[in-house]
Amino acid sequence: MASGARAVSLAVAGLVAAPLAALALQSGLTLRAADGAALRFTVTQAALSALISCALAVPLARALMRRRFPGRGLLLTALGAPFLLPTVVAVLGIITVYGRSGWFSTAQGQPLPLYGLTGVLLANVFFNLSLATRILCQGWHRIPSEHLRLAASLNLPPWSRFRHVEAPMLRAFLPGALLAVFLICLNSFVIALTLGGGPGATTVELAIYQALRFDFDPGHAAALAMVQAGLASVAVLVAARFALPEPGAGLDLPAPPQRQGRLVDGLVIGAASVFLALPLAAVLIEGLPALASLPAQVWPAAGRSVATALASAALAVLAALPLSLAAARGSRWAELSAMWPMVASGLVLGTGWFLILRPLVRPEEVALPVTMLANALMALPFVTRMLLPEVRRLLLDYDRLARALGLRGLARLRYLTLPRLSRPLGLGAGIAAALSMGDLGTIALFADQTQATLPLVIQRLAGAYRMEAAAGAALVLVTLSFALFALFDLGGRHGAK
């Protein structure tokens, strides 16, 4: 492992391990009987959500990558939007559409049975379908166009074409997509509880929240976080075992458009767009009326959120790049340490750091830097997931050439690595920025009233009956997150050519 990657690896491990240790030192690690049930439900809902999201993402990504139509680029970027919604806003959007008094129930004349595992899965798929699709689109992008041309000239029937051309690529990209969705759903808390219909839908994250906020049993929270760490690590190792290196290399010539399956592709794209757009439309409709009369606190909070998000995205990308390069060269340690922050939610990291920093500084003085760092850490696993397949590919295609040419150091970074990775770097930075925009876990512990970020202000509004103003502020948040995401994503795609 290069020394840069080693330093990043150590820093990440330290920044995650120190708060866990601080929590454990407070009250000693403990687990309880009720944790078993929470654990089972957490894994079940996360695994099902990952499977369903990815099963739907395969035809969607395939359709999007096979077709060329006006607005396709915009649609690809807009696909990121559900993932950017703060969970509370997304849940309310979903309820507006699918709830007991929602659009569907009203149109159908009877209430849909939303609450329960159905609702949890629906919300998780709504959230993550777009993420899985974007990861798989990268995969389709990586199928050498020679293979597609060959398949076309041999007139391969769809099944053979899938088996010989697309299946190998899916084998490389699908485990990463499944893993990303699984890991996100592992931390699910608001979705699982609000749509789950009762305490049976308790996730480990709720148990952590309870341990930190109500029982003040930091050791219990640390033990639960470590159980989640174990789960996440197993998932990472299993995914790594199934993923195979991709075959072959291409010259990036454009593939010929295909005639087969146009109707099916059109239907898939249409249905997915409606599924994803309806709750977004609900958020828009609810938020618009309140936009004109938003409380003054919203705007400075929005500024702080954007600044924190930009810094988090930069940090996350700076850490993910060396780790992915080292991981692609075979360092399992680098790959695992990039996944490490998955062990801890913002709440766990925040509380641990609070305990460490409290004797040294006033928490308010470090509120935004700590939030920025925590958000960068939380985004690191996803950014690394985005980068890793592409970095592997880059090494496979160009490593020998670069060595032969003696291209190294900054020159290699500038002329080879960055241009070839611009697409996943943009997507990764966009996702990191968006994740940071929606975060509530860390900032809530550190900020005083002059430093609130936008999600915190939304929570305060909603907590004071001002649901309309909260919806308006949520719309501002979504718009800003989406703008940041689109900026990075389009920038990355632009830089790729």
Partner 1 sequence: MKILPALAFLATPALAEVPVLNVLTYDSFTAEWGPGPAIAKGFEATCACKVNYIAAGDGGAILSRLKMEGAGSEADVALGLDTSLVEAARATGLFAPIAAQPNTLPVPFADTEFQPYDWGWFAFVHLKSLENPPANFKALAASDLKIVIQDPRSSTPGLGLVMWVKAAYGDEAGSVWKDLADNIVTVTPGWDEAYGLFLKGEADMVLSYTTSPAYHLIAENDDTKTAALFDEGHYMQVEVAGKLKAAPNPELADAFLAYLAGTEAQSVIPTTNWMYPAQSAPLPQGFETLIQPAKSLLLSPTEAEALRQKAIEEWQAALAQ
Which positions touch partner 1 (CB under 8 A)?
Answer: 26, 34, 37, 88, 91-92, 95-96, 99-101, 115, 189-190, 193-200, 206, 209-210, 212-214, 216, 295-297, 351, 354-355, 358-359, 362, 364-369, 444-445, 447-451, 456, 459-467, 470
Decide whether 194 or 305 has the Cβ nearer to partner 1: 194
Smallest gap, in angstroms, from Cβ of residue 433 to partner 1?
Answer: 17
Decide whether 96 or 422 has the Cβ nearer to partner 1: 96
Radius of gyration of the chain (CA): 22
Decide whether 358 or 400 has the Cβ nearer to partner 1: 358
Smallest gap, in angstroms, from Cβ of residue 363 to partner 1?
Answer: 8
Decide whether 78 or 94 has the Cβ nearer to partner 1: 94
Smallest gap, in angstroms, from Cβ of residue 368 to partner 1?
Answer: 6
Q: Which two tokens mark 256?
A: 């010929």
Smallest gap, in angstroms, from Cβ of residue 202 to partner 1?
Answer: 8
Closest CA to 221 of 340, 347, 43, 373: 347
Decide whether 355 or 407 has the Cβ nearer to partner 1: 355
Smallest gap, in angstroms, from Cβ of residue 304 to partner 1?
Answer: 10
Closest CA to 173 of 203, 214, 133: 133
In this structure, are residues 252 and 145 in contact, taking their beta carbons and an 8 Å threshold?
Answer: yes
Amino acid symbol at 409: G
In this structure, are residues 329 and 3 in contact, taking their beta carbons and an 8 Å threshold?
Answer: no
Torsion sign, CA atoms 38, 135, 422, 144: positive
Q: For 149-159, b where at least 16 C-beta lie within 10 A, e where not — what string?
A: eebbeeeeeee
Decide whether 52 or 461 has the Cβ nearer to partner 1: 461
Smallest gap, in angstroms, from Cβ of residue 282 to partner 1?
Answer: 10
Amino acid symbol at 413: L
Smallest gap, in angstroms, from Cβ of residue 353 to partner 1?
Answer: 11
Helix-helix angle 3-27:218-242, to 10 degrees: 140
The single-letter DSSP state of residue 343 is G
Smallest gap, in angstroms, from Cβ of residue 201 to partner 1?
Answer: 8
Decide whether 254 or 463 has the Cβ nearer to partner 1: 463
Decide whether 365 or 397 has the Cβ nearer to partner 1: 365
Smallest gap, in angstroms, from Cβ of residue 314 to partner 1?
Answer: 12
> Which residues make Cβ contacts (< 8 Å) with residue 368, sequence separation at least 6?
304, 307, 308, 447, 451
Maximum alpha-carbon separation in the chain: 71
Amino acid symbol at 288: L
Beta strands in 111-251 (DSSP E): none
Decide whether 99 or 430 has the Cβ nearer to partner 1: 99
Closest CA to 184 of 242, 231, 143, 250: 231
Burial class (CB within 10 angstroms; exposed 0-12, middle 13-18, buried 19+) of 130:
buried
